[in-house]
Amino acid sequence: MPSIDPERLLADLRTLRGIGAHGRGVVRPAFSAADMQARRWIARRYEEAGLEATIDGVGNVLGRSRNPGKALLVGSHSDTQPTGGWLDGALGVIYALEVVRALASDDATRVLAADAVSFQDEESRFVGCLGSRSLTGTLTPDIERGAVDRDGVTLADALRQAGLQGAPRLRVAPGRHAGFLEAHIEQGPHLDDAGMRIGVVTGIVGLRGMRFVFRGQQNHAGTTMMARRRDAATALYELAHRINQEFPKAAAERSVWTMGRARIEPNATSIVPGYAELDLQFRDASEAPLEAFEAIALRLVAEMNARGGVGIEVARARAPIPPTRMDEGLQEHIAAAAARHAPGKWQRMPSGAFHDAGIVAERIPSAMLFIPSIGGISHDFAEDSRDEDIVLGCQVLADAAAAILTAANARG
Amino acid sequence: MPSIDPERLLADLRTLRGIGAHGRGVVRPAFSAADMQARRWIARRYEEAGLEATIDGVGNVLGRSRNPGKALLVGSHSDTQPTGGWLDGALGVIYALEVVRALASDDATRVLAADAVSFQDEESRFVGCLGSRSLTGTLTPDIERGAVDRDGVTLADALRQAGLQGAPRLRVAPGRHAGFLEAHIEQGPHLDDAGMRIGVVTGIVGLRGMRFVFRGQQNHAGTTMMARRRDAATALYELAHRINQEFPKAAAERSVWTMGRARIEPNATSIVPGYAELDLQFRDASEAPLEAFEAIALRLVAEMNARGGVGIEVARARAPIPPTRMDEGLQEHIAAAAARHAPGKWQRMPSGAFHDAGIVAERIPSAMLFIPSIGGISHDFAEDSRDEDIVLGCQVLADAAAAILTAANARG
């Protein structure tokens, strides 16, 4: 089995952290100067590790193995949230580099073909998972057209400014890969709370969104009697509270739902609001609770609309993401490596956050490995993990990669 | 009894409407060029009606009668909402002018002393009821200090720009007035709905405000399990809905409550909110329902705080306005005149909106007369009343003024 080099791994993670560093955090959004600098550095490291490195037309860094046979794709993303942590994405990118180096330095695994990748714009500056969509061929012109960041910059302008306008967009070669492995910090508290060190991801939760639009009648808050009011905010408060009362009855163990955005017009203390909006988002690893939640929300809206007064319309807020199951065979290889290096300290678990693996899984069997996030904190400068967990996770990934490739090439 | 001149009344109302006209509405906020132009025009009309007219240091236009004896103060305000209707305030200002002229043209009432007033900034550009507060001596430096409009202009700058910085601020002479009469459009639908033409106002509703501040913990909407969340918006929706369920049990016939303003931070679909605010405002003509509402809100907050999770703090959002009773004797005179001119078509009623009479009543016995607002619409360009109601209301007011002054001077 290959042995990773803990010092080399941690040193590379810290170098990458230095590109776009802000205090303890990192500001390296997709296509920013820091992001492109990081991608050029990653490409050089890939070459030093013996890979054939390319930055493609959407900014993906792909390092292709020169070895023949079935290959394994390993990686994550190196772009960050606008105020991001140092490990979100970066961990999996440097793990991939180290796995390639570890495989190459062991006689038994030197012949295996591991490709490394750093995807672009997983964090949705323009298009969430832009890079993995592009590499796997599911990025449509429809998705790309009209993509702007929150400052109004278009994706096309960002590509031009990053010097990528002429570069070809790479696609994974059909049949080349036995699988895709993505390692990531958990971004939640489960592993840390339970004292576990490795999570073998069983699936990525699905997500649906609904937007409720409430149309009432704006009025004077002193002279309009209660019986005559058509108060959009009153309807919003009722629907939101009833959803929070009804959803637990249909929830699975890890179902979550959030109503984090509301808009009330004109939002003045002394005016009966005539218009309001409420966003509802819900996630689960299975379709059944998602179906049940949607049915409950629609039933509550129908009940309230039947009463009259405020009219409630329902719109799908975004394209639903179906739950994704991680490949069972790949999971077994990660689980076996975890059991070897962290006996009793690993568990299977779904991912509550979305990842590139959720995109890649549509085309290539995929699996994920989590290491603990201290305090469950992520998308924040304070995001961190313990060095010993970082090192352990990479060794488990390297073992799993070697086992997967050995098995695939024995079959193949 | 004096007779008003309907044509003169309507002509003056239309002339005033033309100053700051925007389509069917009027834009004449306090201290704007249009507002000051209107005040100079009103002052000239006062002089023409035989009054001694002054624009004082806060912009009030006061027209003092030259007659001896007990006087009656009559008037309203000529400033408007940022996008106001043509009758809100203006009606009562021109009524006062016409009442003075009607009294002067009748031998029986020529000797009576009616003062006319147009108060400044009733509509709260800087300080709600600034003018009536100043004239009655309840405007404190505390209230005035730091007064800015929503564009950040200070009251002091507005006074300077209007050329009022040197002008003395007038005060009502103690003992001069037997009462204050303010006529106004209803700004609500009650008279129009009931087919009534005159409202004799029994009191101005009191108003209290509370601001609820919810402190939870901002978190990732995918990875933070429901049991672990401290979602500020969830608590806001619950409290608001429970208030809407509980308040009807303590409400009087015309109690109203409004939660027209909510703020959720960071107000993003995919983030569990850590902070929220909710404003609650409630009004009634009596203190008892106001006390009951406040107690219910505090009990609900205490129950929710006892459960833990999100912490809710309660702040008084503004100084409470106690309910104001209109003077019984003055009401009787208005009622008698209404019964004479509109038998079966008048009613007693509280005012759900606040008015200068609520300020003046602290120092001088006060009463109000309402005419119907078509469709109850106000604070809107579409605000309107029928000409025949406008004429009727002024005649009732003139009769009441004559009777009040005659009685006051007979008592002596």
pLDDT in tens, A155-167: 999 999 999 988 9
Contact B258 A248 (CB under 8 A): no
Evaluate if residue A411 carries a pLDDT over 90.
no
Of the partner residues B241, B264, B354, the one whose CB lies closest to the CB of residue A238: B241
Q: Phi and psi of B190, rounded to 5°? A: -65, -50
| Smallest Cα distance from B275 to chain A, Å | 10
Evaluate if residue A316 carries a pLDDT over 80.
no
| Smallest Cα distance from A135 to chain B, Å | 25
Cβ of B265 under 8 Å from any chain A Cβ? no
The residue of chain B nearest to residue A285, with distances taken between CA atoms, is B222
Please list every residue in chain B whose beta carbon sits closer than 8 Å to the beta carbon of residue A275. Answer: none
Contact B240 A241 (CB under 8 A): yes
pLDDT digits (tens, 9 = 90+) for A41-68: 999 999 999 999 999 999 999 999 999 9
Of the partner residues B186, B258, B269, the one whose CB lies closest to the CB of residue A317: B269
Evaluate if residue A412 carries a pLDDT over 70.
no
Distance CA A377, CA A73 (A): 28
Cβ of B37 under 8 Å from any chain A Cβ? no
Do A405 and A329 contact (CB within 8 A), yes or no? no
The residue of chain A nearest to residue B267, with distances taken between CA atoms, is A261
**How many alpha carbons fall within 13 Å on the CB side of residue B89?**
31
Contact B261 A269 (CB under 8 A): yes
State whether CATH 3.40.630.10 applies to domain A6-204+323-411: yes
Q: What is the pLDDT of residue A220?
A: 86
Chain A neighbours among B 282-311 (CB < 8 Å)?
A: 283
Cβ of B82 under 8 Å from any chain A Cβ? no
Contact B226 A255 (CB under 8 A): yes
pLDDT digits (tens, 9 = 90+) for A177-226: 999 999 999 999 999 999 999 999 999 999 999 999 999 998 889 989 99
What percent of chain A shows pLDDT beyond 90? 87
Do A42 and A78 contact (CB within 8 A), yes or no? yes
Cβ of A3 under 8 Å from any chain B Cβ? no
Q: Is A408 left (phi over 0), alpha (psi -120 to 50) or beta?
A: alpha
Cβ of A255 under 8 Å from any chain B Cβ? yes
pTM, two decimals, is 0.83
| Smallest Cα distance from B223 to chain A, Å | 5
Q: What is the pLDDT of residue A386?
A: 98
First to last CA, chain A: 20
At A374, is the pLDDT very low, low, confident or very high (cuts 50, 70, 90)? very high
Contact A221 B256 (CB under 8 A): yes
Mutation target to probe the B interface, by most B beta carbons within 10 A, among A190, A229, A247, A269 is A269
Distance CA B186, CA B374 (A): 9
| Smallest Cα distance from A214 to chain B, Å | 14
Q: What is the pLDDT of residue B379?
A: 82
Please list every residue in chain A whose beta carbon sits closer than 8 Å to the beta carbon of residue B317. Answer: 269
Cβ of A273 under 8 Å from any chain B Cβ? yes
Task: Write down the architecture of domain A206-316 according to CATH.
Answer: 2-Layer Sandwich (3.30)
Of the partner residues B237, B264, B317, the one whose CB lies closest to the CB of residue A237: B237
| Smallest Cα distance from A260 to chain B, Å | 5
Chain B neighbours among A 304-363 (CB < 8 Å)?
A: 317, 352-354
Distance CA A204, CA A182 (A): 12
| Smallest Cα distance from A351 to chain B, Å | 7
Contact A222 B354 (CB under 8 A): yes
Evaluate if residue A320 carries a pLDDT over 90.
no
Q: What is the pLDDT of residue A150?
A: 84
Cβ of A395 under 8 Å from any chain B Cβ? no
Q: What is the pLDDT of residue A317?
A: 67
Pairing of strands A206-215, A177-185: unpaired
Cβ of B377 under 8 Å from any chain A Cβ? no
The domain locations on chain A are: 6-204+323-411, 206-316
Contact B223 A273 (CB under 8 A): no
Please list every residue in chain B whose beta carbon sits closer than 8 Å to the beta carbon of residue A225. Answer: 188, 254, 256
Distance CA A344, CA A342 (A): 6
Cβ-proximal residues to A309 (8 Å cutoff; 6+ apart), any chain: A216, A229, A230, A235
Mutation target to probe the B interface, by most B beta carbons within 10 A, among A258, A259, A381 is A258
Which residue type does B146 have?
G
Q: What is the pLDDT of residue B268?
A: 87
**How many alpha carbons fall within 13 Å on the CB side of residue A373?**
28
Question: In CATH, what number does B6-205+323-411 get?
Answer: 3.40.630.10
Q: What is the pLDDT of residue B325?
A: 96
ipTM of the predicted structure? 0.83
* C-alpha separations of B380 from A284, B23, B27, B373 in Å: 48, 11, 10, 12
Cβ-proximal residues to A264 (8 Å cutoff; 6+ apart), any chain: A232, A233, A236, A273, A275, A276, B260, B261, B262
Contact B258 A354 (CB under 8 A): no
Mutation target to probe the A interface, by most A beta carbons within 10 A, among B214, B230, B270, B282 is B270
Contact A187 B256 (CB under 8 A): no
Contact A226 B256 (CB under 8 A): yes
Tens digit of pLDDT at every position of chain B (412 positions): 899 999 999 999 999 999 999 999 999 999 999 999 999 999 999 999 999 999 999 999 999 999 999 999 999 999 999 889 999 999 999 999 999 999 999 999 999 999 999 999 999 899 999 999 999 999 999 888 889 998 999 999 999 999 998 899 999 999 999 999 999 999 999 999 999 999 999 999 999 999 999 999 988 899 899 999 999 999 999 999 999 999 999 999 999 999 999 999 989 888 899 999 999 999 999 999 999 999 999 999 999 999 999 999 998 766 788 999 999 999 999 999 999 999 999 999 999 999 999 999 999 999 999 999 999 888 888 899 999 999 999 999 999 999 999 999 997 5
Joined tokens for residue B27: 């834009």
